[in-house]
Every structure is written in C-alpha cells, then in structure tokens.
Chains A and B, each alone.
Chain A
Amino acid sequence: MDAETKKVKHRHVELAQKILDVVTERGMIRGERLPEQALASRCNVSRTPIRKALQILADRLIVAAEPEGGYLLAIDPASFPGLEDEQQPAEETELYNAILRDLSAGRIADSQTVASLQRRYDASRSAVQNALIKLSEDNLAERAPGQQWLIKQFAIGGDAVAKSFEYRLSCEPLALTLPGFRRDGPAITSLRHSMDILRGMTETGFDQKLFERTDFDFHMLIARSCGNPFMSEALVSHHRRRRSSQPPVHVNAFRLMQSNTEHMQILEQIERGHMDLASDLMRVHIQLSHSQRPRLAGRGVPPVFRVVG
C-alpha cells in the first residue's frame, strides 16, 4: 500500500470513529438506522467519505448494510471502547509520535525547523509540516520567529502529569459552578449507559479501553457544557492534549472501577442540578486520581517523602 492510500485509509478510520462518537452522543441503540446526510452534516464532510467510513464499520461488523441501501447500527455503542486503527499509522502520525517521544527523551531540542526534522527522520517536507500542524492543533507546538517551531516541552516533561492535575483541580470543579452551565441530557444519558456497563464488570474482566473512552468523554462533556467559551476552550484543549501526549499512567483496575463510580456520582448531581455538590465531588475525584507513591522506600530509610506516581 503506497503512502497516499495509507493516508486516505487512515482518514477514513478517523471519520469512522467520529461517526461512532456522534452515535454515542445521540444515545443511539443497536438496530437504529444511520442517516448518511445527517452524519455528513455533523462531521462536516460530504456523503462520499461518510460512505467509505461506514464501509470500514461494516467490515468490522459494527454496522450492517441494509438490502435496500444504507446501514443499521449492529452493536451497542455504549459498550464499544473505540476503533483500533488497523492500518499502519500515516507517516505524519508516526512522525508526530516520534517527535514527542524524542523530545521527551532529550534526543531532540524543543526548538526545531522543518528542515532539521526532515534530516532527523528522513521524511518529506510535507510529512513534517503535517505532523507539526497536528502538534499545533493539539496545542503541543507553536510557530516561533523565523523558520522555527517550538515544541512544548512542559506538556510532556517529567512534571507534566502533576502540573496537569494541579490545573484541572483549579478549573474543572469551577467549570461545574459557572452560571451558564447547561446540562446535555442525551449525552449524559448515553455516558451513564456506558458507565453502567463498566460498573457491572469485575476487576479481572474490566474493560480498560471502554473506561478510557468514557473517562475522556466525561471530562470533555463537563468542559463543553460549562457555558463559558473561554473556559470551555481551555479545558477541551487541555483534555485533548493530555490524551495525545501524556504517558500512560499505570493504574489498577480497582482504582479505575472506583473512578467510574465517582464519574457516575458527579453526573447524578449534575442531573439533579446540585452543581456545588457536583463540584465538590469533582475536586475529590481529581485528588484521588492523582496517585502518589513513596519516592524512596527500604529498610532503614527515614520517613519517606512523596512524588507523583
């Protein structure tokens, strides 16, 4: 498969995921018909790429073709953790990951030009440019004077996770108490459906991928619903950035199950309109999620001090 075909395929997979996001947000259920035109409008594309994306979903038995044309939803979207991109990532995605990985490991400096990255990765000019644009869309890079690009070291450094928690602790509870906060009923119902499915799982069979999806959707929902466009923009951008750049935090299934329960409790209070209580619960939730472990431990070690886990 040549690079161009791979790139197109990758975009179709991305669009297929977007369709699933729309389907989940709207609380659609198994057997419902998927209207191509409505999906095209929601995803801001024409019907042709929507059909290609639906074909990908049909190949993976997520939707089923109807004899008279069109597609039906063949799964319960609430229990679906998200699409795996079975295609090799497009060149710019690979570059995107490599730039972050190498910056984090100190193999490249935070200030780069397109030419310097081309040399490091033996990549085409357009691939490097696309990777930088993607990094910039995720708020991980910005143009600097001249030909320079500045990749944001602070977002991926050793301290990034702790600082991210600190930021979220100051903003997310506040977002819940803003006067313009609007409850998105269908999205809440759909999320609660997914969370209910997670609640029914055991520690050994816990679906971490489904949890990761609901976790992201939950925090994005708060960000989008807060009613203040500046706060909303800042939080949405932060959540996107932490999803694409922060190293995985290795958390036990038990804590994830607990976290799922905390999400449900917060949603419950939002539905009841008890926003101060929802805000307090969010504060507790973020603090509990910020796990800390002893920095040094061993026989004869003085009382330990703690750092981010």
Chain B
Amino acid sequence: MTQPKVIAFFPEASFGAALNCVGIAQQLRSLGARPVFICHPGFRGVFAEYGFPEYPLPSLGAGGQTDWTDFINRHQDAFRQTPLEQIRSYVGPTWDAIVDTAIAAEEPLRQLLAQLKPAVIVLDNVVMFPAITNAGVPWVRIISCAETELPDLAVPPYLSGCGGKPGPDWTLFAERYHKAVAPAHRRMNGFLAECGLKPRPPGEFLENSPFLNLLLSPDAVRFERQIPLDPKTHVYLNGCVRQEAPYALPAFAAHRDAPLILVSFGSLGAMDVAMIQRMIGVFETMPYRFIVNVGPWRDDYARVPDNVFLESWFPQPSVVAQASLFIHHGGNNSFCEALYYGVPSLIMSYCWDGHDNARRAQDVGVGRRIDRYQWTDTELADAITALLDDVAMHNRLEANSKAMKQSNGAAVAARAILDLA
C-alpha cells in the first residue's frame, strides 16, 4: 500500500492564514493526502482541533515577558493613523519583527523539514523562509492577503488603501514605504545571501513560487493587471472557505426576528474595548440583532443591550452565512467569507491589507468603508441601514456568491497542490 503524500503547511501566526490553510488541508485530506502543520508555538492546538498533526517550531523571537499594556497602547495609537502615517509607526516595525521571525525560524525549520520529508510545502506568509526553497521539493505560495500583495503597475501599492488609477498618491506611498522598510529589507537580503538565495527587489520580502501560487482574491474584486500573472503557475481561488461546526444563533432579549449583523475586527481589533463599546451604544438604538466578537475581553463589558450578544470565539463562516451584514476590519479572510456568502461588508480598517480591501470593496460595490474612529453615531447608523437596504448590491452579491460556491476554491487549491506531489 502506498503511503499518503505528506503536505506540509506553514501558515504565518495569524488566524486568517491559519484557518485558510485549514480549509485547503481539509480538502487534501479528503483526497487521500496527509496534511501536517508546521506552526508557531502559540498556535499549538489550533490545527489539532481540526484533526491535523502539528509540529510547533521552538519559541521564536526575543522571548521573555511581554509588556502587554505597552504593546496594546502602542498599537492602538498606530491604528488611529492613516495608511501613510502607519508606514513609520506600524508597517516598518512589523516588517522588522517579521524578518526577525524568519531568521530565527531558519535552523529549526530546516531540521523539521528534513525529518518530515514532505512531498510539497505550502507557505502562507508574507516573508521567505530559505529552508523552504532549499528543501528540494516543490513549494507553493499562498497569497492570502489582498491581491495588492503581488505588485503590478496597474495595482495600487500594497497596504496603501489607494484606489483608482496610478497617481501622485500611489507614488508618495510607494516612496515612503520603500524608505521605511529599507533597513528590514537590507537585513532580509543579507540573510537570503547567507542561505545562498538571490536578493529581492526593494520592498519585496517573498518571491513567487516557480511551481504554484494560489491567490485568495475572488473574481468580484480582482484587478486588471498590466502584466497578467502566468496562469500556469498562478491560480485564483474564487472562494476558499473551511468547513466549520454549525452555529446555533443565541436567543436575543429583543428584536428576535430582525436582521443579524456580525461585527468582528479580528483578535487585534478586539483590543480596543472603548471603541467597540461606543459602537454598541449605537447598535442599542437600532432595530437589528448584533453578534460582536470581543475576543478575550468579554468581562470588560459591564452591560450589554438586549439586541447585542457578545462572543469570544465562534466558527465565523457559520455565522457569516446567517448574517445580513458583516462589519469587519478588512482582513482578507473575513472579506472573502462575506463575499462567499453574499453578505455586504462595512469595513472599518485599521492596518495592513485591511485598508486595501476597504477601498476595493467600495470601488467595486460589494460594501462600504468608513473610518474606524472618525464617525458620528448617525453616520454609523446610516451606513449600516444603507447597506442593509441596498437591493442592487444584494443582488450583485448573491450572484457572485453563487459563482464562488460553485468554484469551490479549496478543492481547486487541493488538486493543484496534489498535482505537484
């Protein structure tokens, strides 16, 4: 009997990438492969819960105690800024931390890959790990951020939140971005050289795979590229959503049959309790039901209105499927899930590609963006009502949802990966 092919997934330490890989791994398992997960130590248990073997890397980075109050305050200040301002306060330091992680992971990752002997390695990250290209087996890049992650002259700069056509705003952002990330980029190129790999062009930390690149960019939001991606090595997944446990809606104390609105800003976004409390103050005045993801800060909410239910962890796709509107941060997974289930997005982005998705949602008419902090109660309420009442948008989203469900992106990805094995 032939042994099942081992497919080693290595997602970055974020829920979006991790759970997106779970969706593809579920399909690979049903096709007879043996998906395993190489994970960051803090993610131990996340993949085992879906039935996948886990191989945690030893603790990466500086280690020691983290001053959480300082961390949260620093990030919350940065999250109030424009994408242009965040280049210095958030994007630059984040790239520094990412490069640190890549360097620290190299040796344990090389050893682990030698032991696992995978047939294919699947990397869902924003930075290169030389141990992967040097492993001697095909590797796959998953681009689970917005499509802007792959640069093109006709695509707005990554993380800029820009839209429209190339213009001075694109140029200004690109210049500042390259300048701010240059020190981290120099370190990265030095590290790549030590590992026998070629340097990357300015601003780029990860190359495309010569074997296969999977883009989680649904057709509805795709860009017209000046130089189209090679279809032999680049596959767009028009919807790639994992199988999740069903979610039974809680009984609300008021508005029991009213439309359901899901509010989730990811684990980082849930840190700003005061901002979410302010939003809940507006929700209380509206004739709808709201499920709000408050992460681990559940006990910080002293009083919850009758039409609001607070959750800490839930199978998000199962809730999105029942929602009439999804208020989120523009994380690519959340955005794709909203599109997959035909639910309009109200995006209040605060960092990274959330800005790009917020702009794109508005530009192609699948949602709307508002600033995360600069809104009045009336403006927030009006934005919610307008999206719920937008029949044309609903029809458009419904047609798109049907196409995405038929595409079955997770299965397409799994078959493409297996073809390399």
Residue positions of A touching B, CB distance < 8 A: 97-98, 101-102, 105-107, 157-159, 203-204, 208, 247-248, 250-255, 258, 291-307, 309
The smallest beta-carbon distance between A250 and chain B, in angstroms, is 5
Chain A residues contacting B302 (CB-CB under 8 Å) are 106
5 contacts between A and B (CB under 8 A): A102-B253, A252-B50, A255-B51, A294-B15, A302-B97
- A296/B267 contact (C-beta < 8 A), A98-B253, A250-B315 known: yes
Complex-state Cα separation, A301 to B93, whole angstroms: 11
Determine if B295 is an interface residue (Cβ-Cβ < 8 Å).
Answer: yes
The smallest beta-carbon distance between A297 and chain B, in angstroms, is 5
Q: Considering the complex, give the chain B residue whose CB is closest to the CB of A294.
A: B42
Contact (Cβ within 8 A) A301 B251: no
Complex-state Cα separation, A188 to B268, whole angstroms: 46
Chain B residues contacting A158 (CB-CB under 8 Å) are 298-299, 312
Q: What per-residue 1/0 map shows which CB atoms of B144-159 lie under 8 Å from chain A?
A: 0000000000000000
Chain A residues contacting B301 (CB-CB under 8 Å) are 106
Chain B residues contacting A107 (CB-CB under 8 Å) are 253, 303-306
Determine if B243 is an interface residue (Cβ-Cβ < 8 Å).
Answer: yes
Contact (Cβ within 8 A) B45 A293: yes
| Nearest 6 Cβ contacts at the A-B interface | A304-B42, A300-B94, A254-B51, A105-B304, A300-B97, A158-B298
- A297/B126 contact (C-beta < 8 A), A105-B303, A106-B304, A107-B253 known: no
User: Which residue from B15, B68, B244 sits with its C-beta under 8 Å from A252?
Assistant: B244
Chain B residues contacting A258 (CB-CB under 8 Å) are 51
Complex-state Cα separation, A180 to B22, whole angstroms: 46
Contact (Cβ within 8 A) A292 B45: yes
Chain A residues contacting B309 (CB-CB under 8 Å) are 105
- A250/B60 contact (C-beta < 8 A), A105-B303, A297-B14, A298-B14 known: no
Which of B14, B61, B90, B315 neighbours the largest number of chain A CB atoms within 10 Å of its CB? B14
Contact (Cβ within 8 A) B66 A302: yes
User: Which residue from B60, B97, B267, B352 sits with its C-beta under 8 Å from A294?
Assistant: B267
- A302/B61 contact (C-beta < 8 A), A251-B49, A297-B267 known: yes
Interface size on B, residues (CB 8 A): 59
Q: Considering the complex, give the chain B residue whose CB is closest to the CB of A255.
A: B49
- A303/B245 contact (C-beta < 8 A), A258-B51, A295-B295 known: no
Contact (Cβ within 8 A) A299 B253: no
Contact (Cβ within 8 A) B267 A298: yes
Determine if B385 is an interface residue (Cβ-Cβ < 8 Å).
Answer: no
User: Which residue from A97, A208, A291 sits with its C-beta under 8 Å from B251?
Assistant: A97
Chain A residues contacting B49 (CB-CB under 8 Å) are 251-252, 254-255, 291
Chain A residues contacting B12 (CB-CB under 8 Å) are 299
Complex-state Cα separation, A62 to B266, whole angstroms: 45
Chain B residues contacting A252 (CB-CB under 8 Å) are 49-51, 244-245
Complex-state Cα separation, A255 to B22, whole angstroms: 14
The smallest beta-carbon distance between B387 and chain A, in angstroms, is 26
Determine if B296 is an interface residue (Cβ-Cβ < 8 Å).
Answer: yes
The smallest beta-carbon distance between B142 and chain A, in angstroms, is 15
Determine if B59 is an interface residue (Cβ-Cβ < 8 Å).
Answer: yes
Contact (Cβ within 8 A) A299 B352: yes
- A301/B245 contact (C-beta < 8 A), A107-B253, A252-B50, A293-B313 known: no
Determine if B135 is an interface residue (Cβ-Cβ < 8 Å).
Answer: no
- A302/B71 contact (C-beta < 8 A), A248-B248, A296-B268, A297-B15 known: yes
Complex-state Cα separation, A293 to B312, whole angstroms: 11
Contact (Cβ within 8 A) A304 B71: no
Determine if B314 is an interface residue (Cβ-Cβ < 8 Å).
Answer: yes
User: Which residue from A106, A291, A301 sits with its C-beta under 8 Å from B303?
Assistant: A106
Q: Considering the complex, give the chain A residue whose CB is closest to the CB of B248.
A: A248
Chain B residues contacting A299 (CB-CB under 8 Å) are 12, 14, 94, 97-98, 126, 352
Contact (Cβ within 8 A) A296 B46: no
Complex-state Cα separation, A295 to B46, whole angstroms: 12
Which of B59, B66, B352 neighbours the largest number of chain A CB atoms within 10 Å of its CB? B66
